[in-house]
Amino acid sequence: MPALLLAGPAAEPLTLAEAKAFLRIDHDAEDALVAALVTAARATVEALTRRVLIDQQWRVVRDAWPASGLLRVPVNPARAILAAHVLDAEGGEVAVPLAALRLDGARLPGLIRVEPGAVPAPARRPGGIRIDLRAGHGPGAADVPAPLVAAVRLVLAHFYEHRDVPAAASAFPASLDTLVAPWRVARL
């Protein structure tokens, strides 16, 4: 079940000033590089933990409603269902009543419980069901757990220090796994 990013985070877990202070950079010549590395570090921590750090909007696409009535959410932590649609025979969107879908975002991975008989069947396949979600720990950097922000700092420093080294030759420090392991979302 694919998940498509609709809108990325409004902010990063570290501001440019915080990142420069952590890297002990006192000039503006590398601001664009540092900003890009902060984004790359956040994306790396998200990939390692299978978590979205700061709120983002995602679309989950499915071919059919699950017979079990339980739909595993591929983007975590899932915080809200924003909209749901099925495609009709012409490809138009038919709204699914949000009351027919209950998000259990306390679980990791999250689950959407589908009310049997309360959702229309898609007339087109593949990708006839589209559910838009908000996922993340919250809208700002203050909402991200401190160990994950520390992991972003560690990856940022690693990327900055090894920016001229081929990726295969520069492994992450072992302490990174210690920071992210308790936050990893298991695959089912």
pLDDT at 20: 97
Q: Three-state SS across 142-164?
A: HHCCHHHHHHHHHHHHHHHHCCC
For residue 165, pLDDT over 80 is answered with: no
pLDDT at 159: 93
Domain extent listing, the chain: 16-53+143-183, 56-135
Class of domain 16-53+143-183: mainly alpha
Query: How confident is residue 85, by pLDDT bands cut at 50, 70 and 90?
Result: very high
Q: In one letter, which amino acid is 74?
A: P
Distance CA 136, CA 48 (A): 15
Query: How confident is residue 187, by pLDDT bands cut at 50, 70 and 90?
Result: confident
**Average pLDDT value for residue range 125-139:** 94
pLDDT at 188: 58
pLDDT at 36: 96
Q: Between 68 and 1, whose confidence is greater?
A: 68
pLDDT tens for each residue of 96-118: 999 999 999 888 899 999 998 89
pLDDT at 2: 79
Between the ranges 146-150, 166-170, 171-175, where is the mean pLDDT highest? 146-150
Q: Please report, rounded to a whole number, the percentage of residues in the chain having pLDDT higher than 90.
A: 81
**Average pLDDT value for residue range 136-152:** 96
